[in-house]
Chain A
Amino acid sequence: MNAALREALSGIVGPRWVRHRAAELATYAMDGLPTHESAPAVVVLPASRDELIAVVRLLHRESLPFVARGAGTGLSGGALAAPNAVLIALTRMKHILRIDAARRRAVVEPGVVNTRLSEATVPFGLHYVPDPSSQSACTIGGNVAENAGGPHCLKYGVTTNHVAELEVVLADGQVVRLGSPHGEPWGPDLVGLFVGSEGMFGVATEITVRLEPLPQAVRTLLADFTTVRAASEAVSAIIGAGIVPAALEMMDQACVAAVERSIYAAGYPTDAAAVLLVEVDGAADAVAAEFELVDGILRSHGARSVQTAVAPADRARLWQGRKKAFGAMGRIAPDLAVQDAVVPRSALPDILDRIGEIRDAHRLTISNVFHAGDGNLHPNISFDRRDVALAERVRQASREIMEACVAAGGSITGEHGVGNDKIGYMPLIFDAETLGAMQAVRRAFDPEERANPGKVVPVHACREWHAAPAARPRPPAARPRMAVG
């Protein structure tokens, strides 16, 4: 690693916050997905907006590629940096800058941990709704990059529905404000375009999010079914009745078994083919009425039993198994490939049968836990990555699962993003023309393609799409002026 660059970065953030030793870099060589590994050339940890902007401007001057990273809980290899790239870790930028309870807005730095924001706003009777399973660790900046979801997004929407305004530093160091305090676009909807761009359009320096009032009443139901199909039909019947529950989650037998054998045991019936967790929230009387309707639908669709919880402690117990399902799977094998795909809700039973066939064909252990209300599947494959042949079977099975979901009219990712893990699947759902358009949009934000290079869009599969004029004068940053590595 070039000492001059390290010195220049140290001049901005202080020497303590520039990491380059192998042991230090190893911390940043993976995200939450154990199937990809790559250590950056150097890691820099800015403490403030000004430091972050100064770092990006320095990297622009040096034509160096960079990757912004939050807590590293992502599940698509999106926050991994190549050995020639600088990794900008945003975990020190963890300040909640403002909470405006009257306007139901909060302004945060990108490194604020998701649950910390809700904890800070609860005293005002408000919360930040998107709740990915990693919410106790993941950051709002990472959520913006990935357009993160979570169980409660069925009713309240995903990250993109909760971001009103962004301040962004583009890869050339220019700082722009997108959106408006209201959330109404200022011009075209560039906030909507930026959210979910996986760190390839720039780095959010300041994020204005919407806050929602805490629901007056919440009730949770847990129903168990003897077939996955019956549980899926109950899901469709609830939605078809015009009820939009706050959450509608399903776990299959393998998942329930893993949970019940772990320290997170929640009392789920282990002989059930599927367990459905339904939460309704809102005004007390409306919740009581919806609860009755949901309870009736669950029972009429073959639920063997329906447990209900109203008190927070009881609800937490019912949720515990779902929230800790990924942790519970850690008992099965050392590694877990958490997959993410979407199918039309009506295709759920068939796709689960198909995943079962793929599991058997490749002799794998797969547990399914998913957001049934919106058809967002998480087939989780337990394995040991030291077993090379097994890891290859995991890779092959993952691809077959994606192909099956696409064939059913679905998508290769509902909330984890493409990163580098799924870049090879992109041509399954997008033609060359559309991939070319994506690449052109990326170049409009980052003509030199230095922000998180090599992710999301498989450039080789793009139809050639003329570059925006600003992209033409300068060559791509393939040869950094300052040597690294």
Chain B
Amino acid sequence: MNDAIAMRLRALLGPHAVERDPDGLPRAVPDSPDAMAAICGAAHAEGWKIRVEGRTTWLPADAPADLALSTRGLEAVTSVSPADLVASAQAGASLDLVRRRLAEQGMWLALDPPGRPERSLGSIAATATAGPLRLGFGPVRDHVLGATIVTGDGRLVHAGGRVVKNVAGYDLTKLHVGGFGGFGIIAELHLRLRALPRADVTLVAHGSRDALTGAARDLSGTVNPAALELLSPALAAEPDWVLAGRFLGTEAGVQSEVQRLVHGGGLQWQQVPADRAAAFWGLAARAALGGPVTLRLGVLADGLDETIDLIERELTEGLLSAGAVNGMLRWTGDAAVERLRAVRRTAAAREIPMTIERAPWAVRHALGHFGAYREGVGQLVGRLRESFDPGGCLSVALEGAME
């Protein structure tokens, strides 16, 4: 079977674009969205299951499949327009590369996702994994103006556009950002950029969880940080909890914000030296790889304490970070499927969705990235999946197998 698939792929793409993964599975490395579509078209016709791989630094490449499809061959930054603050990049481009290309021209993409800096843009968009900057700049979807999608049966769909404001047609991009590849494979993204901020200041305060969340509540509305993130002692590698604030903007604007922060809330703030701030946030992002499972909980700030209690009770050890102003909690660690399911059930009863962002296939398969939906939504999602992947070729577990 493997040999026949590999042979077919070589005939489609040429010998250079087909390799084998360590288990001997054929891996196609298309170099264009059209080639990607051809692979999916063939898979649909033959009934092959496809596992999509990015730079394999986030989700493990372990979904059962007849072939792997890597986006590594699609790593170009295809256009950059400084005057319009937009850029287009292929899905396999690493965030690191994109950042460097943009910085050369005075721009940046206001995303600081968990994981390694070489994560692919496609992975970040498909999993909608935003980092602490979500507070100031919004979730991943706010940075994506449009996308080229390859459907499970090999069609090319051009969702959205390349301009910063656009309501033409249905907003299909939203389905794919955070769709975990269940509705198609992202081949290219059109991104909204910002001018590089003139000033970038990070401050940290240490204390008990109660003291920090209380102070964050008091500060809410008086300061406007780009990030205000609560980090657990294990994640921060500190004896206490850490509250980390980041301010971006003009020099005068940032200085005035910092003054208000330092004089309000009653915490002892220390400024992180400029040459160490990037490393500080980079370490916090990489901490999400400190265990096999990463999950996020869509909790509001006022439910944070209660939800952290729940996590600590059910999942014990782990690395935890949370938006202190806007909520949203991320946990990384190791836990049995039953414990994770229990957390999801309790959270759902509090109207908090839990998304498995990263886990071995056994966990993804058992729980699904999303698990059980609200009433009626499952049928809707099923119909949407059916329309984008009618043959069920994309090996993605959105719903749990044993819910």
Contact = CB atoms under 8 A, between A and B. Distances in A.
User: A and B, one complex?
Assistant: yes
Interface of A: 102-103, 125, 146-147, 149, 153, 157-158, 160-161, 170, 174-178, 180-190, 192-193, 195-197, 200, 213, 236, 239-244, 282-283, 285-286, 289-290, 293, 342-346, 371, 374-376, 409-418, 422, 426, 429-431, 433-438, 440-445, 447, 456-457, 463, 465-471
Interface in B131-189: 138, 141-142, 151, 155-159, 161-172, 174-175, 177-179, 182-183
Contacts of B250: 241-243, 286, 289-290, 293
Given A413-B167, A469-B383, 5 more contacts: A157-B142, A184-B353, A412-B168, A433-B155, A444-B386
Contacts of A176: 374-377, 380
Contact of A437 (B163, B164, B223, B388): B388
Centre residue among B161, B165, B224, B351 by max chain A CB count within 10 A: B165
Most buried by B among A239, A241, A283: A283
B224 to A, nearest CB: 7
Contacts, number: 266
A398 B106 CA distance: 37
A187 B381 contact: yes
Interface stretch (B47-55, B237-245, B297-305, B331-339): B297-305
A431 B172 CA distance: 14
B20 interface: no
A240 B195 contact: yes
Contacts of B398: 187-188
Nearest to A165: B351
A188 B182 contact: yes
Given A293-B250, A342-B166, A437-B157, A193 B174 contact: yes
A182 B327 contact: yes
Given A103-B302, A176-B377, A346-B84, A456 B169 contact: yes
Contacts of B259: 285
A149 B165 contact: yes
B268 interface: no
A242 B164 contact: no
Main secondary structure of the interface of B (DSSP, over half): loop
B370 interface: yes
A244 B169 CA distance: 27
Given A149-B165, A431-B158, A444 B171 contact: no
A49 B262 CA distance: 48
Contact of A346 (B81, B142, B299): B81
B198 interface: yes
Contact of B249 (A213, A242, A426): A242
B163 A188 contact: no
Contacts of A438: 169-170, 172
Contact of B167 (A409, A417, A435): A417
Nearest to B387: A440
Contact of B171 (A160, A430, A471): A160
B380 A242 contact: no
Contact of B175 (A193, A200, A430): A193
A127 to B, nearest CB: 13
A426 B171 contact: no
Contacts of B142: 157, 161
Which of B163, B249, B302 counts the most A-chain CB atoms under 10 A from its CB? B163
B376 A465 contact: no
Contacts of B85: 239, 345
B172 A374 contact: no
B83 interface: yes
A186 B374 contact: yes
5 contacts: A102-B302, A149-B165, A178-B377, A186-B353, A441-B387
Given A187-B398, A411-B168, A416-B167, A181 B380 contact: no
A482 B386 CA distance: 32
A368 B232 CA distance: 53
A413 to B, nearest CB: 5
A406 to B, nearest CB: 10
B386 A469 contact: yes
A283 B164 contact: no
Contacts of B374: 176-178, 186
A186 B373 contact: yes
A285 B84 contact: no
Contacts of A192: 141, 171, 174-175, 177
Nearest to B326: A182
A193 B197 CA distance: 31
Contact of A434 (B159, B253, B384): B159
